[in-house]
Structure 1
Amino acid sequence: MIGIIYFVVIVLANTIGAVSGMGGGVLIKPIFDFIGADSVMAVSFYSAVAVFTMSAVSTARQLISGRKFNWKIISWVSLGAVLGGILGNVIFEAILRWFSNEDIIQLIQIGVTVITLIFAFLYTKYDWKNFRFTSVTWYLACGLSLGFLASLLGIGGGPINVALLMFLFSLPIKEATGYSICTIFFSQLSKLITIALSTGFARYNLEMLLYVIPAAVIGGLIGARLSNIFPPQKVTTIFQIVIIIVLFINLYNGIKIIM
């Protein structure tokens, strides 16, 4: 039964995540936490697999459809995302060792996620000033920050990806969503490789991946299709609505833990 619930959640979350550039994990993580069927560690792993699969499918689908990318931005941001993803997973594992109480770990993740959600919403809502950095250093620093947060929070990418790419490089939202999905692919790839080389996958219920991976593929395909259809204003609206929904889910989860 839990597998079926996870399947439905991932299809819907990854469809929205592929359209908005958030990656789906920003919905998957808090909803799985709300369901409460698995540990924080397991939820972060399932979310990472789902978002990694979605990003691979969505990126491939967009390339096949003829979408053009600036490969200089992708290569350097993605390199930074790989390094940040490794660092984020190392810090996450350290937090797991430091705090035996999973509630504290969840509160840390929720707190940082809420901060990124508020920044992303205010940025897109009030059209803050953009920068137009073009140096490799900024691309690398951006990817490092995004990969670190994605891996640490277990949300894949989240709204901070799109907002920061627009903020630093003056990218239109539809371009930013494409680059965000590519960045998510590399950050989650590095997270999964780090897990494989350190703790391994034996501590997870891998049978759940029979639900997670097909759902992620379906969501990625639908989301990539819709991303090519929707105009920029529609993407911005979806982006902001999802932020509000996820913000309330995270706040509810946080209050529930504290109470």
Structure 2
Amino acid sequence: MTNALYGIIVLFATIIGAITGLGGGVIIKPLFDLVARDSATVIGLYSAMAVFTMSIVSITKQKRNGFRFDKKTVGYVSLGSIFGGLVGEGIFDFCTKSLSNNYVKVIQNALLLITLVFIIVYGINQKKVVSKELRNPFVIFLVGLILGLVSVFMGIGGGPLNVAMFMILFSFFMKESTVYSIVTIFFAQLSKLMLNFISGTYSLIDWRSTIVIVIVAIVGGYIGTLINQRLSNKIVNNIYNVLMIALSFVAVLNIYQAL
């Protein structure tokens, strides 16, 4: 029953994640916290695997459909997100060893809630916010580092913050931001998975659950990308905003449950 439930959550999350650029982790992590009895470490690994798989499928599909990346932006953001992912995983590892599982979940969900509130406020005032067009390589690298750190530490794939930051800092449209967000997610989660492989954390996971999650993430990433390519910026933006509000309530529920 657990694997079936994981599969349903991951399918929904990766479809929505590929449509909106959220990656899916922002849905998987709080919902797994809500329904699963696994530790924060195991849930983080499952989320990372699903999001990483989805990002590969989505990026490949977008490239085949003719999407053209700004190589400079992608290069420096990706490099920053790799280092950010390493730092985020280090902080997460420290927290799991120093604090109880419930406290780790409270910290993660509290930070997620703060992030979501920021994004909702930005969405309401979007037309009043003056967007930038960053070109400085070091600053672009720092953006990637911060996004990668947040992505990996919170175990959410970073999508919500990524999309908003690409719109604010690079003046991208919504659909552009979703693709760049998924690229950032790919590299951040790659660094997390590599660190866990080296540390041997994979011994904690159930491989039957992993197989279900990976297969479903491939399907979800493919379906979500197909839908993304057919929707307008306005519709993608509306789906994104509704999801932010719904996830805020889930984060509050998780904090209450963990306490």
TM bracket, shorter-chain basis: over 0.9
Note the aligned Cα RMSD (angstroms).
Answer: 1.0
Report the equivalent of 2:175. 174
Deviation at 1:257, TM superposition (A): 2.2
What is the count of residue pairs matched by the alignment? 257
Contact 2:159 2:181 in 1 (8 A): no
Contact 1:80–1:144 under 8 Å retained in 2: yes
1:82-121 pair list within 5 angstroms: 82-99=82-99, 101-121=100-120
CA-CA distance at 1:246 after TM superposition: 0.7
The 3-state SS of whatever aligns with 2:202 is: coil
Instruction: Quote the offset at 1:124 in angstroms.
Output: 2.1
**Runs of 4+ more than 3 Å apart:** none
Distance 1:52 1:212 in 2: 11
Secondary structure of the residue aligned to 2:204 is coil
Alpha-carbon offset, residue 253 of structure 1: 1.1
Q: Secondary structure at the match of 2:246?
A: helix
Give TM-score, length-normalised by structure 2: 0.97
Deviation at 1:29, TM superposition (A): 0.4
Partner residue, 2:125: 126
Amino acid at match of 1:121: I
Question: Residue 162 of structure 2 corresponds to which residue in structure 1?
Answer: 161
- Alignment partner of 1:67 is 2:78: no
Instruction: Confirm or deny: 8 A CA contact 2:159 2:185 kept in the other structure.
Output: no
Contact 1:2 1:37 in 2 (8 A): no
What is the one-letter code of the residue matched to 1:140?
A: F
Structure 2 unaligned residues grouped into runs of 5+ = none
Partner of 2:32: 32
**2:137 is matched with which residue?**
136
CA distance in 2, matches of 1:38, 1:28: 13
- 8 Å CA contact retained: 1:81, 1:187: yes
CA offsets per residue over residues 193-242 of structure 1, 9 Å max, x none? 01111234112222211110011001100111011111000011011011
1:37 CA displacement: 2.7
| AA partner of residue 215 (structure 2) | P
Residue 58 of structure 1 is matched in structure 2 by 58
> Shift in Å at residue 125 of structure 1?
2.2
Q: Given that residues 19 and 177 in structure 1 are in contact (C-alpha distance below 8 angstroms), is that contact kept between their aligned partners in structure 2? A: yes
Residue of structure 2 in register with 1:220 after alignment: 221
Q: Read off the aligned partner of 1:218 and give its amino acid letter.
A: V
1:164 corresponds to which letter in structure 2?
Answer: M
1:44 aligns with 2:68: no
For 1:115 and 1:189, how far apart are their aligned partners in 2?
25
Query: What does 1:199-238 correspond to in 2, within 5 Å?
Result: 199-238=200-239
Contact kept in structure 1, 2:33 and 2:43, CA below 8 Å: yes
Identity %: 36
TM-score by length of 1: 0.97
Hey, what's the Cα distance between the residues in 1 that align with 2:124 and 2:178? 16
The Cα of 1:17 is off from its aligned counterpart by 0.7
Name the CA distance, whole Å, in 2 between partners of 1:96 and 1:200. 12
Contact in 1 for aligned 2:159/2:182 (Cα 8 Å) = no
Does the 8 Å contact 1:78/1:186 carry over to 2?
yes
Measure, in 1, the Cα distance between the counterparts of 2:81 and 2:41: 21
Contact 1:30 1:249 survives alignment (8 Å) = yes
